[in-house]
Chains A and B, each alone.
Chain A
């Protein structure tokens, strides 16, 4: 057999390939040759072949068949073989394959080799890819090498020790004796790696941290020598002596000085010295300054020093180098909580960074700008941020919009300003805002009674300009429906009233119903608005006509709505004014996170709680809930304490009659329990986002089930098919606890077979109260595209009476309706 071609020759040949296919062909041919050479156990060319394989691996071709050959090379006596073998092992093997364990013995031998470069290779490989088993086996050797006087091996051993500790933290103790003399070493490599090792140990163990605090004076001395000593060519980088070591020491000092007065005190002076003496014309000086600033911020430093640090960052902000500006923004963001006023001084510079062209910088500047908003500067800051929102890339809009909402909610100087700001966001970035912003704004508008006329007028004007921004159109429709009378009567005090007729308003709303730009949800809003106007406008006949047209709409949701409204006109006309009355003022809830939604679901789903105990909050028996639904979100307000006296108590029942025996349920939650019909509001006025009629019928039929009942912990499942995708089953779990002690740290986990997909939303709480005094609810969504029988494995962990409990259970008895 002829000698295989050389590595460089192969590289050269492959580079002549003009197409991907040609390259692939060459590689395949070569791979075949290499394989057969491997099979023949050819020792002479193994090294060459593996090297070639590594090149092909880099090009993205499979090379796993070289793994064992690497091991053979490592075991070879030749240094060349070992060098390539270890390199190949690092590239082709990793701890996920058991093959790597075969190296352990070779590495062990090589760690004790007589040539330091062989030892070095072994250390390097262990420190790069050693698995925990390997680390356990070889930690002794590493520890021995950490104590040698050979600095070449010592520095490598120190980093290897770091790797061992990362993999097997309990081995940390064994390196403790060897750390004793590490810092007295003169060699910078050893010094640097030792500091890394000490940092790792301090980070991982509070005991080590306490133990190593005594090293602070020594570290300070080393650092001082570094900055005071003159030019040393070996470690100099642009006039700075060993910046790598300086940064590492500063980092270790940061960890040692954190929450410790004495250590912080001991390093105050040197930090001030580094902060003032470091030359900042080059990146490397700034790297040190940056690390110094972080250390000053983290330890218990004197206030003067902190001001110095913030000012350094302020200087960074003005630097021409983008990297430095970025770093400044990142670190200011970290300190803005603790040193708010100091950061505030650099506000204008930070706001200027919003105009930077670089996305990394822009993002940081935006985050920092939001962090700097307060009651005093809200107007100015918002002006800048709204301008930014207007001009920024699409990727920023969503975050920026929610930032504006949050800040406006917190610091709005007036209601009018608040409404204006949100409307501004909706007009400039309407399609990017989160879904909950519509109900939030509606809620805000409802509650600002004196602003109704102004708002509806503004929104009406906005609608005339642009009907493409869906959230804005939805809010506007809702407001026009609600306050149409104020709009037409032109009673706006804040602004010049506009002259509109009822017909013009209806024209606009009908325009929304037919516009291609409108989403189905928007159309729903619009139809409901038209309906509401029937009690506020005189042109009832026109409204009747529109409503009846949509009784045959192809959009089920819209059709259902229209049919219901039609019935309201015909059979129940006497109730119409009461039903379409203006919304009551709502109580403000906290911002709507995902947890909130889940809680909402839990709250409107009272079956489990009610069955056992009277619920602490009485379920409103009137339409409060579904009126809220008119707001368009499940996530608006879960509970209204006030009852609305104008609603006839019988309305609920009658409306149920109206809809015949469809046994509808309102509310977003599953409705399994026939025991609570009175609290289940009629669907008639149900909001736009609740389920369409038909799914509800389906859902109503799914019985609930008990999935787990052991040791006093009972878990019930209730079901609901989500729309619009009937393949998704929404399961709400209700955990109750009948023992006399509460269960804390309650975690429910579930797993399903691979054909399903499962999503667990956050639980309402992690404490299950004792004596059935409350429920923890959590929503699981299961995607079941193949409609297979549901199976689920659940894992429960909680702490009960001080001891941790863990249990597994399999749930197989799902009702067929939940998955068919």
Chain B
């Protein structure tokens, strides 16, 4: 069995910790889209945990609650369109606020990409990581204002001298391989979504694209 709880104080007593152990994003087909580990584990262990969790979460019915007791951790997950957002927290931690953290991350992605869908995260996975790292650090939220996170990301993007850029998902080559679910937008806020959809053509101008 993989030991997940590795943080033990020097006197050998486990300290009550409230931190996120890892966060995984995976699709309904079980494909991993993002992984962030806040505890040191070997690649093999990470793969094992991922496989096990993806299976367990996908097997759950939609009407079930978002929490899962798994080993000595608690898994909090939520599905947005085709993508599952899944966090492992300590047994003692507040599950409901973790749901809010997940939701906040989704909102950040949504604001950044403009009506985010799975394809955005596939093609711009590094951006998704940058946003996450600007929101969480070492498994704790570092910023509670959406505006500040996005501002930081935008400015860092500017620093990048336009070498990295976001890719539109409605660019035809991507669409060829896109499944309908990957193309489905997350339902973050209904009104904003409508608004964003109208803006889409303008936002996703292919000329803007600059990739590696």
Query: A residues touching B (Cβ–Cβ < 8 Å)?
Result: 6-9, 11-12, 15-16, 47-48, 51-52, 54-55, 58-60, 64, 78-80, 83-84, 87, 90-91, 94-96, 115, 117, 120, 123-124, 127-129, 131, 152, 155-156, 159-160, 162-163, 166, 169-170, 188-189, 192-193, 196, 199, 203-204, 234-235, 237, 242-245, 247, 251, 283-284, 286-288, 290-291, 294, 322-327, 357-361, 363
- Give the CA-CA distance A199 to B138 in the complex, in Å: 15
Find out whether the CB atom of B42 lies under 8 angstroms from the CB atom of A96.
yes
Cβ 8 A contact of A11, one of B97, B122, B159: B122
Find out whether the CB atom of A58 lies under 8 angstroms from the CB atom of B125.
yes
Find out whether the CB atom of B211 lies under 8 angstroms from the CB atom of A129.
no
Find out whether the CB atom of A124 lies under 8 angstroms from the CB atom of B143.
no
For B95, what are the chain A residues with a Cβ–Cβ distance below 8 Å? 323, 326-327
Q: Who on chain B is nearest to A196 by CB?
A: B140
For A95, what are the chain B residues with a Cβ–Cβ distance below 8 Å? 40
> Looking at chain B, what size class is its interface with the partner chain?
35 or more
**B195 at interface, CB cutoff 8 A:** no
Q: Which of B121-143 contact A (CB under 8 A)?
A: 122-123, 125-126, 129-130, 133-134, 137-138, 140-143
Minimal beta-carbon separation of B180 from chain A (angstroms) = 14
Cβ 8 A contact of B100, one of A7, A96, A162, A237: A237
Residue from the set B61, B101, B177 with the largest chain A CB neighbour count within 10 Å: B177
Find out whether the CB atom of B129 lies under 8 angstroms from the CB atom of A322.
no
Known: A8-B174, A94-B42, A284-B100. 14 other contacts (CB 8 A): A7-B212, A8-B209, A12-B174, A79-B159, A79-B160, A79-B161, A162-B138, A193-B137, A204-B9, A287-B97, A294-B94, A326-B67, A327-B95, A359-B64
**B203 at interface, CB cutoff 8 A:** no
Cβ 8 A contact of A83, one of B69, B130, B211: B130
Q: Who on chain B is nearest to A294 by CB?
A: B94
**B194 at interface, CB cutoff 8 A:** no
Find out whether the CB atom of A291 lies under 8 angstroms from the CB atom of B161.
no
Q: Who on chain B is nearest to A242 by CB?
A: B144
Minimal beta-carbon separation of A47 from chain B (angstroms) = 7
Find out whether the CB atom of B40 lies under 8 angstroms from the CB atom of A189.
no
Q: What are 30 A-to-B residue pairs whose CB atoms are below 8 Å?
A: A7-B211, A11-B122, A12-B123, A15-B174, A16-B176, A48-B212, A54-B126, A78-B161, A80-B164, A83-B130, A87-B129, A96-B42, A120-B134, A120-B156, A131-B40, A155-B142, A155-B143, A156-B137, A162-B140, A163-B138, A192-B142, A244-B141, A245-B144, A286-B96, A288-B97, A323-B67, A323-B96, A358-B65, A360-B64, A360-B65
Find out whether the CB atom of A235 lies under 8 angstroms from the CB atom of B64.
no
Q: Who on chain B is nearest to A243 by CB?
A: B100
- Give the CA-CA distance A774 to B11 in the complex, in Å: 32
- Give the CA-CA distance A290 to B43 in the complex, in Å: 36
For A361, what are the chain B residues with a Cβ–Cβ distance below 8 Å? 65
- Give the CA-CA distance A83 to B155 in the complex, in Å: 13
Find out whether the CB atom of B96 lies under 8 angstroms from the CB atom of A287.
yes
Contact (A322, B65) CB under 8 Å given A12-B174, A156-B142: yes
Find out whether the CB atom of A203 lies under 8 angstroms from the CB atom of B96.
no
Q: Which of B95-154 contact A (CB under 8 A)?
A: 95-97, 99-101, 104, 122-123, 125-126, 129-130, 133-134, 137-138, 140-148, 152
Find out whether the CB atom of A363 lies under 8 angstroms from the CB atom of B96.
no
**B34 at interface, CB cutoff 8 A:** yes
- Give the CA-CA distance A363 to B69 in the complex, in Å: 10
- Give the CA-CA distance A11 to B38 in the complex, in Å: 26
- Give the CA-CA distance A96 to B146 in the complex, in Å: 35
For B133, what are the chain A residues with a Cβ–Cβ distance below 8 Å? 87, 90, 124, 128
For A170, what are the chain B residues with a Cβ–Cβ distance below 8 Å? 10
Q: Who on chain A is nearest to B124 by CB?
A: A8
- Give the CA-CA distance A245 to B176 in the complex, in Å: 44
Q: Who on chain B is nearest to A358 by CB?
A: B64
For B104, what are the chain A residues with a Cβ–Cβ distance below 8 Å? 237, 244
**B49 at interface, CB cutoff 8 A:** no
For A129, what are the chain B residues with a Cβ–Cβ distance below 8 Å? 40
Cβ 8 A contact of B177, one of A12, A87, A323, A326: A12
Cβ 8 A contact of B212, one of A47, A159, A360: A47
- Give the CA-CA distance A84 to B94 in the complex, in Å: 33
- Give the CA-CA distance A325 to B63 in the complex, in Å: 13
Contact (A60, B47) CB under 8 Å given A245-B144, A323-B99: yes
Find out whether the CB atom of B64 lies under 8 angstroms from the CB atom of A55.
no
- Give the CA-CA distance A94 to B68 in the complex, in Å: 27
**B200 at interface, CB cutoff 8 A:** no
Contact (A199, B65) CB under 8 Å given A12-B173, A58-B32, A283-B96: no
Find out whether the CB atom of B212 lies under 8 angstroms from the CB atom of A323.
no
Find out whether the CB atom of B9 lies under 8 angstroms from the CB atom of A51.
no
Contact (A360, B67) CB under 8 Å given A117-B159, A287-B96: yes
